[in-house]
Amino acid sequence: MAITLEDPRVIEFDVRTDEMLVNMGPQHPSTHGVLRLLLRTDGEVIYEVTPHIGYLHRCAEKIGENLSTPQWIPYTDRMDYLAGMNMNLGLALAVEKLVGMEVPEKAMVLRVIIAELNRIASHLVGMGAYGLDLGSFSPFLYAFREREIILDLFEEACGARLTYSYITIGGLTHDVPASITIPSGLAALTRRSPNLKLSWLEALEMFLSWLEPRILEYHTLLTENAIFIKRTAAIGVLSREKAISYGCTGPVLRGSGVDHDLRRDGEKIYTRMYEGYNFEVPVAPFKKAPPEAILGDNWCRFYVRMMEVVQSIKLIRQGIQKYAKAEGTYRVPYKMTTKLPVAEAYLETECPRGQMGFYIVGNGEDKPLRARAKSSCFCNLSVTSELCQGCLIADIPAIVGSLDIVMGEIDR
């Protein structure tokens, strides 16, 4: 970030103090997990940031080589544990691409509903935790209240609240339930009887109509909040060229003004899921941006996420309409011991945090020769040292938070 003469920080350069090494993490609350940042500072100004990662490393890729691909699905849940469904989907599609498998229409509709619902849950955590980083406590509580209902709905659908393994090769493990008792959280929020029976999709629709007006409240709480704008606008500016060269994807890339979303621009096997859906891809710059905001700063990255929640709601609504008419079944069987062909396939999907890629090399056996998971957060995090140069120590949580990283996915 350029420092001009009018900038009060110039004084820091006049009074040259000794350089100091500051360890931020791995237990620092604002680093979103076990990330250690080694800062070289002169007073309050950062000269250099070195991220140290690997505290959660489990070598999931080696595990994947010793398991057949359906057995590896539960391990993908533990990569980006805030968006387990999207991780499952990425691996399932990569294997389907490798073996040349077609998924029935009903399974595709369900996958869209489930993946977009998980995207909302993930962005809610991203939003709430970002507010928390910047000292605003209330949005966090609201975000988790909403996310709780989504987790209740996932629990009704597949039994798990965090590590789902719901989307599997060939479709999904179950169809969504035809009749459930309303989740207690949803009943309390919408003031319904706690014994109300309804179908899972009706409960989902009820939740969406409750969530939609709340998004305006989040904008009032965070996006339009003067303190929030001061902390985010024109800080951590990432240019379009740097974003591409550093391999940034997802909201980080779109916040820098690159109009690219794999749901629209991806490979056929992935985009055909979204055919016939009407949705927009939010890309910076925004008309509603405050005058202080610059293309590619923290504020833009945050706002892309907020707008994606609106689009996901729209996608789920269309999915619910399509589900009634969808043909086929929720799953075509895929045996645990199916032998993979001697070929290789790489597929990227649009996960909430960016493009997650799975690269499977088959070798005529059920276990792959190589199972590679390319993490989006890994690439997004690598840009930190570039973004943090010349900023203040207090800006680091604002910059790292705006990248919205999950360490489980970075370290794998």
Partner 1 sequence: MSPADIHQQLVRQFGDKITGANVTALDPWVEVAPAAIVEVSTYLRDDPALLFDALNDLCAVDYFEPDAKKAAKFAHQPHIEVVYHLYSYTLKHHLKVKVKSPRWLNDQAGELPEIPTVSKVWLIADWHEREAYDLMGITFTNHPNLRRILCPEDWEGHALRKDYDFPLEYHGIRGQ
Q: Which H helix or E strand runs over 375?
A: none
Answer whether the bond into residue 285 is a cis peptide, omega within 30°: yes
> Would you give the binding string for partner 1 spanning residues 56-95, x where CB under 8 A is met?
-x-x-xx--x------------------------------
CB of residue 382 vs partner 1: minimum separation in angstroms? Answer: 5
Half-sphere exposure for 187 (CA within 13 Å, toward CB): 12
How many chain residues are in contact with partner 1, going by CB under 8 A?
38
Q: How far is the CB of 259 from partner 1 (least distance, A)?
A: 9
Indicate the pairing of strand 370-374 with strand 354-361. antiparallel
Q: Which of 46, 87, 98, 103 binds partner 1 (CB under 8 A)?
A: 98
Tokens of 24: 């931020």
Q: Does 257 bind partner 1 (CB under 8 A)?
A: no
245 is a site residue for partner 1 (CB under 8 A): yes
17, burial (CB in 10 Å: exposed 0-12, middle 13-18, buried 19+)? exposed
Q: Copy the structure tokens of residue 45.
A: 């100004």
**Whose CA is closest to 401, among 353, 365, 333?**
353
| Helices vs strands, H then E, count in the chain | 18, 10
* Separation of alpha carbons 42 and 3, rounded Å: 15
Least Å distance between CB 243 and partner 1? Answer: 10
Does the footprint of partner 1 cover residue 339 (CB under 8 A)? Answer: no
Buried-state track 324-359, b at ≥16 Cβ within 10 A, e below 16: eebeebbbeebeeebebeeebbebbbbbbbbbbbbb
Cβ 358 to partner 1 shortest distance, Å:
10
Interface residue with partner 1, options 260, 264, 314, 339 (CB under 8 A) = 260
- How far is Cα 123 from Cα 373, in angstroms, rounded to an integer? 22
Q: Is 342 a residue that touches partner 1 (CB under 8 A)?
A: yes
Q: Determine, following the binding rule CB under 8 A, whether residue 343 of this chain makes contact with partner 1.
A: yes
Q: Which of 139, 183, 357, 408 binds partner 1 (CB under 8 A)?
A: 357
Q: Which two tokens stand for residue 106?
A: 């009903």
Shortest distance, CB of residue 127 to partner 1, whole angstroms? 26
Taken as a whole, the chain contains a residue count of 412
Pick between residue 61 and residue 212 the one whose CB is nearest to partner 1: 61
* Closer CB to partner 1, 181 or 382, in the complex: 382
Instruction: Please report how close the Cβ of residue 345 comes to partner 1 at its closest, in angstroms.
Output: 5
- Figure out which of the listed residues 320, 346, 390, 392 binds partner 1, where binding follows CB under 8 A: 346
Binding site for partner 1 (CB under 8 A): 53-54, 57, 59, 61-62, 65, 97-98, 242, 244-247, 258, 260, 265, 342-346, 348, 355, 357, 359, 361, 363-364, 369-370, 372, 374, 378-379, 382, 411-412
